[in-house]
A and B are shown apart, each in its own frame.
Chain A
Amino acid sequence: MGLRDLSIAVEEGTIFGLAGPNGSGKTTTLKLLLGLIYPTAGEGTVFGLPLGNPEYKRRIGFLPEGPYFYDHLNAVELLRFYGGLFGMAGKALNDRAEELLHMVGMWDRREIRVRDYSRGMLQRIGLAQALVNDPDLVFLDEPTAGLDPPAQIEMRALMQSLRAQGKTVFLCSHLLKEMEPLCDSVAILAQGIVRRMGSVGDLLAGESGRFQLQATGCQNISLQNLRDRALDLKVQGEELVLLFADQRSALAAAGEIAEGGGSIIELGAQTRSLEDVFIEAVAAGGTD
């Protein structure tokens, strides 16, 4: 997937989410940042160092999607190998390995060889190896994919604890529901272009102020009247769902329904999810 005019800045000590449909360029972006591929044009820096420079790799960690490791190693050997790549050795390395294995809940299973791992164990050891050098910036590619719900929750808690330690987390995912509570800021990528970027609060508030009204028993009310006031009107069986630009027109419509014998089920400010933003963004991209 080719990337165009990609420009991302990530603040330290936050969790940053990179979202996008399959083929949007997420993996390409990640590979660029990790120095696995090189840009055909343009440049980027990580910690102020050019892409691919081995020096910044001392300060990063990476958990690939569906990670693969030398499968003849067990958990301890694996962490020793990766630690060794940072020049770690001896007791310091052993202590670090033990600490990480406890952290990811693999200590009791440390003798099992990677080839016999379940998907969840792979993900856990993957996270441990990403953290072996105590990195300042951690790249996680679909970290909860394939995990059962308790493990997913555990993984999210781990990410939050990383942020609490002052580390930056770069999260790549298509699971927007997961990102919404977790991420401080998000970029939405589609067809190689960043469609939206900003803090989660800003993105969700982007078009706030709308009100939604849900009512039933409106058989005797003129829909035409309501339609004139509302931005949108949907009939869902017995129910009416109306969207208004402001509170005033919503309240007026509510009054009208009440007078006409209908009953209000719900009236409130409209809630948006990242998913909505995402769908809008991707749809908007299509008209570019």
Chain B
Amino acid sequence: MKRQRGVQVIGWVLVVALIAGLQPLNNSVEYDRIVLGMKTPTPLTRMVDFDPTAITGVIMGAALGGFQGIAASMMWMKMEELWDSGHGTWLACLNVMRTVTLLDPHWLEPWKILGWHLAYNLYVETKDPALQAEYLRKGLDALKEGVSWNPNTYELYFELAWTYFDKVRDYEEATKWFAAAIQFPHPEFIERMIAHSYERMPDLDRALDWYDYCLKRNPNDRTARGAITTIRLRYLPAWRLMEEGKYDEAIKRIDQYLEVEPNSLIALHVKAHIYEEAGKDREAFDTWRLAARLSAMDHQARRKTNALAAKLGIQLTPQEQAPSYLLQQEGQRLQVPAHGR
């Protein structure tokens, strides 16, 4: 009996020692898998917050083990069925999409559709600006989570950048994500998108640099050629004057173009930018406000209008007040998600 107790004690000590000794190997395997790209680490994102859908997804995924991928495919088909059955099911679609992304986070398609569905479809479904803001934010978050699962391919960076470019009109964010996308094998047009973003920002020097790059890479790139010509003819003279500090002349120069094309948003952006550089906040405010009135979708102008109104103490009409999501400060903007540990 004593001998048996001895065996038990030695046995359990051995068990504990082996489990402890296992940890370095465990860590090494986990490290290898991440470094070699055999797996992507679970991002520290909303997924682990106790959102019922997410928890269900995680548990379902675990329960399915090797069948996660198949389950995701099947659910995706179900989602497409739902989708075809009409608008009333859009919210249901949303949940299914979300679950699919949890089940198979390396499948890109569901992330793209999820982001687009939130930022575009559900956004226009409602007239409530707060709800719109919420959908837009969720759409961006979904794409960012997708990026964190799939950081080694251009596709979701591009989707995210496009949503910033086209929907939010936050060209600084857009250029950042477009730039991330081109770190990986990608189609040619993404460099042009960077140039377009800088042009609208406006940062004409950088825009020209990127268009030049596109043209050098492909001398037949007509879009780039056309854009370079347009920038040089319409905006560059004023921009150069501004850079030399000749603000009044710069304004005169851009006004010459605005007389021909009074609705040119880019020209208005350039003009507003010149006023900002000159320190003429009131004039800058009026110019941004004009751009915002000309295009309801010019969120950049609305954002600038709001910022300057706050600075100058001007009361804006409710229509002019930008929704909260447009007013985020630089510090609040999410950076490229830090994936890994």
Contacts and interface: CB of A to CB of B under 8 A. Distances in A.
Interface residues of B, number: 2
A56 interface: no
Q: How large is the interface on A (under 10, 10 to 19, 20 to 34, 35 or more residues)?
A: under 10
Contacts of A41: 1
Nearest to A52: B4
Interface in B1-50: 1, 4
B8 to A, nearest CB: 12
A38 interface: yes
B3 to A, nearest CB: 9
Contacts of B4: 38
Contacts of A39: 1
Nearest to A50: B3
A39 B3 CA distance: 12
A236 interface: no
A165 interface: no
A38 B1 CA distance: 8
A40 B1 CA distance: 7
Interface string A26-43: 000000000000111100
A41 B1 CA distance: 7
Interface in B297-332: none
Contacts of A40: 1
A39 B4 CA distance: 11
A38 B4 CA distance: 10
A39 to B, nearest CB: 7
Nearest to B3: A50
Nearest to B4: A38
Nearest to A41: B1
A179 B1 CA distance: 34
Nearest to A43: B1
A136 B327 CA distance: 95
A52 B314 CA distance: 95
Contacts of A38: 1, 4
A28 to B, nearest CB: 16
A39 B2 CA distance: 11
A287 to B, nearest CB: 33
A96 B293 CA distance: 105
Interface in A9-54: 38-41
A40 B4 CA distance: 11
A41 B4 CA distance: 12
A218 B291 CA distance: 141
Interface in B221-264: none
B310 to A, nearest CB: 83
Contacts of B1: 38-41
Interface in B170-219: none
Nearest to A39: B1
A39 B1 CA distance: 7
Interface string B40-80: 00000000000000000000000000000000000000000
A45 to B, nearest CB: 14
B211 to A, nearest CB: 80
B11 to A, nearest CB: 16
B284 to A, nearest CB: 91
A209 B248 CA distance: 146
Nearest to A42: B1
A214 to B, nearest CB: 56
A38 B2 CA distance: 11
A40 B2 CA distance: 10
A41 B5 CA distance: 13
Interface string A91-115: 0000000000000000000000000
Interface string A177-193: 00000000000000000
A135 B273 CA distance: 105
A102 B4 CA distance: 42
Interface of A: 38-41
5 contacts: A38-B1, A38-B4, A39-B1, A40-B1, A41-B1
The 5 closest A-B pairs by CB, nearest first: A38-B1, A38-B4, A39-B1, A40-B1, A41-B1
